[in-house]
Amino acid sequence: MPVMTPAMLQQFIIDEFPQVLHLDCKIEHVDDSTITVRMSASENHLRPGGTISGPTMMELADATMYFLLLAQIGPVALAVTTSLNINFLRKPAPGDLIARGKLLKLGKSLATGEISIYSEGMDDPVAHVVTTYSIPPKRNAG
């Protein structure tokens, strides 16, 4: 069972990760190996033509993996991305994006996951990401 619930993750964003507040993420589900995050498409993220920009999707994927990792190991603010590989597959439709993340490996020092990003109401993914986080060693309690 994950150690952080969606509500705890939402509070963590407010307290420790305000730089993603602009994505307006809602953690819809999290369990031992998967997560679903909805991003409200506001004016800020739109490219001319009404689609969400590539960098916004990269940021959403990065945050989704971070939430999925934190849900397993607790609020370790110092976990950092070591690599991220994204393929842009289709033009997103106007509207919300749904990121579905899955842990591929949760090791002691590295965690790897994949994230598929969907436009609401489309069956095929608009982008696919594989990313690895580095987990800092635990400090001994004093």
Contacts of 118 (CB under 8 A, 6+ apart): 97, 98, 99, 100, 124, 125, 126
Helix (H, G, I), strand (E, B) or coil at 71: helix
Compare residues 34 and 132 and give the one whose CB is closer to a copy of itself.
132
128 binds a copy of itself per the rule CB under 8 A: yes
**Separation between Cα atoms, residue 142 and residue 137, nearest integer Å:** 15
Q: Which residues pair with 139 in a beta bridge?
A: none
CB of 82 to a copy of itself, least distance (A): 6
Helix (H, G, I), strand (E, B) or coil at 133: strand
39 binds a copy of itself per the rule CB under 8 A: no
Which residue in this structure is represented by tokens 């991220």?
84
Q: Which residues pair with 100 in a beta bridge?
A: 36, 116
Rule CB under 8 A: choose which of 50, 110, 122, 136 binds a copy of itself. Answer: 110
85 binds a copy of itself per the rule CB under 8 A: yes
CB of 112 to a copy of itself, least distance (A): 5
Residues in touch with a copy of itself (CB under 8 A): 19, 47, 53-55, 58-59, 62, 80-90, 104-105, 109-110, 112, 114, 124-125, 128, 130, 132, 134
